[in-house]
Amino acid sequence: EVQLVQSGAELKKPGESLKISCKGSGYSFTSYWIGWVRQMPGKGLEWMGFVYPGDSDTRYSPSFQGQVTISADKSISTAYLQWSSLQASDTAMYYCARLSATGSQSFDYWGQGTLVIVSS
Amino acid sequence: QSALTQPRSVSGSPGQSVTISCTGTSSDVGGYNYVSWYQHHPGKAPKLMIYDVSKRPSGVPDRFSGSKSANTASLTISGLQADDEADYYCCSYAGSYTWVFGGGTKLTVL
């Protein structure tokens, strides 16, 4: 069974750094792109970027380029989303999602989400 | 990149059909046959319901169907059931390894 299991909720202060994770299982982790999607409170989904764990190739949405860093450690089948200096506007639910390998350009499995709250 | 435009809410009674629209541009919805739809029950992981405009993943009931005309895609749910009540998001590939989502539509089953 394909599963993406994300790390738990985080409460951080502005200016702090953070790295959240998404562990894949039940499939060949190195063969699928893993993306990150943001959902701000009361808002829709926004695609942030993704990583190919096989060779760590990374692509970002122009809206998030330079704001976050996406990476992966294939040895432990885990993808990451990190911030070097959080802002209150980073408060959101973050989902990881696997890009289908069928060429459909759709996200066929999703993590349960990680809630990030940034507040002083 | 602007978000795709979806109605904020739609509603229907059990057994009825509803259609959710998703309007983009020729750079996303109109330019690629890569529109997908996701069902999101709050607190749960989003679920892929439709991909490549009109294809259903294994396990998704055929009550769910998708279509596209020019820059607008649509999701139709027939035979509405209580469990269909959720938020629905469309998504389109927009070229150059980028994707754009819609703002989401809240479906209420009356």
pLDDT of residue B33: 95
Please, are residues B22 and B7 in contact by the beta-carbon 8 Å criterion? Answer: no
Could you say which residues from 42 to 61 on chain B have a Cβ atom under 8 Å away from some Cβ of chain A? Answer: 44-48, 51-52, 55, 57
Residue B96: the pLDDT is 86
Residues of B in contact with A46 (CB under 8 A): 3, 101
B5 contact A CB<8A: no
pLDDT in tens, B27-78: 999 999 999 999 999 889 999 999 999 999 999 999 999 999 999 999 999 9
Query: Can you give the pLDDT of all 120 residues of chain A as single tens digits?
Result: 999 999 999 999 999 999 999 999 999 999 999 999 999 998 889 999 999 999 999 999 999 999 999 999 999 999 999 999 999 999 999 999 999 987 778 999 999 999 999 999
Query: At residue A15, what are phi and psi to the nearest 5 degrees?
Result: 95, -20
Q: Dump pLDDT digits (tens) for B70-98.
A: 999 999 999 999 999 999 999 999 988 88
User: Going by DSSP bridges, is the β-strand pair B72-77/B18-23 parallel, antiparallel, or unpaired?
Assistant: antiparallel
Q: How far is B24 from chain A (nearest CA, A)?
A: 15
Cα–Cα distance for residue pair A112/A83, rounded to 1 Å? 20
Give pLDDT, residue A102. 74
The answer to whether B60 and B41 have CB atoms below 8 angstroms apart is no
C-alpha pair distances (Å), B82 with each of B14, B43, B50: 7, 17, 19
A44/B101 Cβ within 8 A: yes
Which 17-36 residues of chain B touch chain A by CB within 8 A? 32, 34, 36
